[in-house]
């Protein structure tokens, strides 16, 4: 079946994510846009994924747990998973490596952790948009080791994009897929996502993948197949 997706969306836990980007608002906006599957990808954390996955389940939207990892070179890597426990292992790993700088909400914005009813259950105190301490050379294998797929995000952008920062795409880095708005000539499967920090930026039903079922397993299997892995 054809499933419309947007696998790069930030919640109010990202300092740059709008406060209205709550789990339920994201899910409802994705459904209004006609999407079947999304991923919640906050900077260096997955702590709003359980609430968004639960809100998605209640409303019939597939939500993949994800994280937008900042490498030590300041390159953004979208890390997609099938199950939250896999993402949690990555988060635990970077917890011991990432720079510890306190967030200044008045400068960077608040970093709110919500439950599945959009009630605040916590606030992340360490600034999330800092280096995870993971290098771009380690990222693909590290994420794959936890069962995920590492996708260099917005690779064409000068700020935080792999090509923008390294100057060229190196196939030896081991990535199996890339994210970019337009074709950059990289010979890998390509995702087109919104990188939405505001609700209205979430993608329209324009980009689709072919999956066996409309479930996290079905969607993730389709992504693995695109990467040439066994489903
Ligand atoms: Zn980014
Ligand atoms: Zn992003």
Segment 207-226 mean pLDDT: 97
**Angstrom distance (rounded) from CA 26 to CA 132:** 26
Q: How far is the CA of 152 from the centre of ligand 2 (A)?
A: 11
Q: How far is the CA of 231 from the centre of ligand 1 (A)?
A: 27
pLDDT by residue (tens digit) across 38-95?
999 999 999 999 999 999 999 999 999 999 999 999 999 999 999 999 999 999 999 9
Q: How far is the CA of 55 from the centre of ligand 1 (A)?
A: 24
User: What residues form DSSP beta bridges with 210?
Assistant: 2
Q: Which ligand is nearest to the CA of 157?
A: 1
Q: Does 9 have pLDDT greater than 90?
A: yes
Per-chain mean pLDDT for the chain: 96
Segment 174-203 mean pLDDT: 97
Q: Based on C-alpha coordinates, what's the Rg of the chain? A: 16
Q: How far is the CA of 198 from the centre of ligand 1 (A)?
A: 14
Q: Angle, nearest 10°, between helix axes 136-145 and 84-95?
A: 140
Q: How far is the CA of 68 from the centre of ligand 1 (A)?
A: 7
What is the separation, in whole angstroms, between the first and last Cα of the chain? 15
Tokens of residue 63, six digits: 């939500």
Q: Which ligand is nearest to the CA of 196?
A: 2
Q: How far is the CA of 119 from the centre of ligand 1 (A)?
A: 26
Residue ranges of domains in the chain, CATH in brackets: 2-226 (3.20.20.140)
CA distances in angstroms from 72 to 75, 77, 162, 181, listed in the order given: 7, 11, 12, 24
pLDDT of residue 98: 86
pLDDT of residue 131: 93
pLDDT: which is higher, 117 or 231: 117
Q: Does 230 have pLDDT greater than 80?
A: no
Q: Is 60 exposed, middle or buried (0-12, 13-18, 19+ CB in 10 A)?
A: exposed
Q: Where are the alpha helices (DSSP H) in the chain?
A: 23-32, 49-59, 84-95, 105-108, 136-145, 162-166, 216-226
Segment 16-41 mean pLDDT: 97
Q: Which ligand is nearest to the CA of 197?
A: 2
Q: How far is the CA of 131 from the centre of ligand 1 (A)?
A: 12
Segment 151-167 mean pLDDT: 96
């Amino acid at each position: 079946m054809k499933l419309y997706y947007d696998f790069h969306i930030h919640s109010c836990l990202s300092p740059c994510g709008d406060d209205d980007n709550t789990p339920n608002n994201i899910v409802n906006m994705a459904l209004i846009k006609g999407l079947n599957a999304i991923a919640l990808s906050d900077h260096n954390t997955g702590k709003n994924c359980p609430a968004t996955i639960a809100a998605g389940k209640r409303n019939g939207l597939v939500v993949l747990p994800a994280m937008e990892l900042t490498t030590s070179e300041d390159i953004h890597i979208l890390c997609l998973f099938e199950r939250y426990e896999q993402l949690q292992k990555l988060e635990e790993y970077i917890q011991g490596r990432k720079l510890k700088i306190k967030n200044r909400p008045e400068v960077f914005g608040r970093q709110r952790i919500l439950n599945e009813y959009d009630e605040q259950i916590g606030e992340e105190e360490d600034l999330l948009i800092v280096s995870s301490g993971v290098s771009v050379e380690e990222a693909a294998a590290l994420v794959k080791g936890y069962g995920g797929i590492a996708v260099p995000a917005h690779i064409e952008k000068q700020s935080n994009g792999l090509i923008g920062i390294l100057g060229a795409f190196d196939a030896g880095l081991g990535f199996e897929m890339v994210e970019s708005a337009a074709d950059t000539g990289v010979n890998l499967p390509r995702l087109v996502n919104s990188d939405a920090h505001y609700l209205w930026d979430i993608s329209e039903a324009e980009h689709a993948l072919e999956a066996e079922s409309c479930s996290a397993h079905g969607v993730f299997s389709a992504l693995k197949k695109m990467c040439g892995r066994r489903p």
